Amino acid sequence: MSQRIDMATWHRRQVYAMYRSMANPFVAITAPVDATHLKHWCRESQTSLFAVALQRLTLAANEVPELRVRIREESREEVLYAHAHIDPAFTIPAPNGLFNFASVSLCDDPIAFAERVAAKGRALADTQTLKPFDDLRDDVFYLSCLPWMAFTQLAHPVKSATDSTPRIAWGKLIENERKWSCPVNIQVHHGLADGAHIGAFFEAVQRQFDSTGTAAS
């Protein structure tokens, strides 16, 4: 479900207009997140770390309303919509060292969600035709995992200055004094979200990682 934003009364209209006029209105931030509980829970429950991290990051992004706003063009008019709920769109391995795109419905149960991800992976395992999400739906976050490196920054490709879908990435887990951390990156349209909203996202990520498998998760 989504609701159109009234641009005449929207509290961010001046900020949006300023950044919308820029050729590159995007901001990307990377920060380390404590993944100790997440890793241990996945190992003990024998659940995919990739799938559970994907779920927790999507749940965290859904906690920030500004990350659920999308820019659309309707009848040559630029309009904004606020979604009530966002699902993850993510990359999965494909033949010949390539990748493809997939999406599953988000749910609160990490094991049930991991099963959905695994089923989608099996269904697309032999698919060699790239199936991007462009122009199909915008009620998603784009997520990618780079398990080969603990990166310190990352910039994502975008289509245009109206590309409003946040990009989220996470990297290799690093152990230090029996604790595990991983880099998490998010790129957003600055006309829709500011540093405070990115900070709220990272706070939500830590809560989601720490509460994995608990009744409150």
Closest CA to 129 of 98, 159, 156, 150: 98
Q: State how far the Cα of 197 lies from the Cα of 146, in Å rounded to an integer.
A: 24
What's the mean pLDDT in 64-85?
94
Q: State how far the Cα of 56 lies from the Cα of 194, in Å rounded to an integer.
A: 22
CB 118 within 8 A of CB 39: no
Q: How many CB atoms lie within 10 A of CB 122?
A: 9
Residue 76's pLDDT band, with cuts at 50, 70 and 90, is confident
Sign of CA dihedral 116, 117, 120, 126: negative
Residues in the chain: 217
Residue 216's pLDDT band, with cuts at 50, 70 and 90, is low
Please give the pLDDT value at position 131: 73
Q: State how far the Cα of 27 lies from the Cα of 186, in Å rounded to an integer.
A: 8
| 193 SS3 class | coil
Q: State how far the Cα of 43 lies from the Cα of 59, in Å rounded to an integer.
A: 21
Find the Cα–Cα–Cα–Cα dihedral 13, 14, 20, 21, rounded to 10°: 150
Q: Which carries the bigger pLDDT value, residue 52 or residue 130?
A: 52
Dig out the tokens for 80 from the structure: 């904004």
What are the chain's domains? 2-7+25-210 (3.30.559.10)
Closest CA to 2 of 121, 108, 82: 82
Indicate the helix (H) or strand (E) that contains 99: strand 98-103
pLDDT tens-place string over residues 53-66: 999 999 999 999 99
pLDDT tens-place string over residues 185-199: 999 999 999 999 999
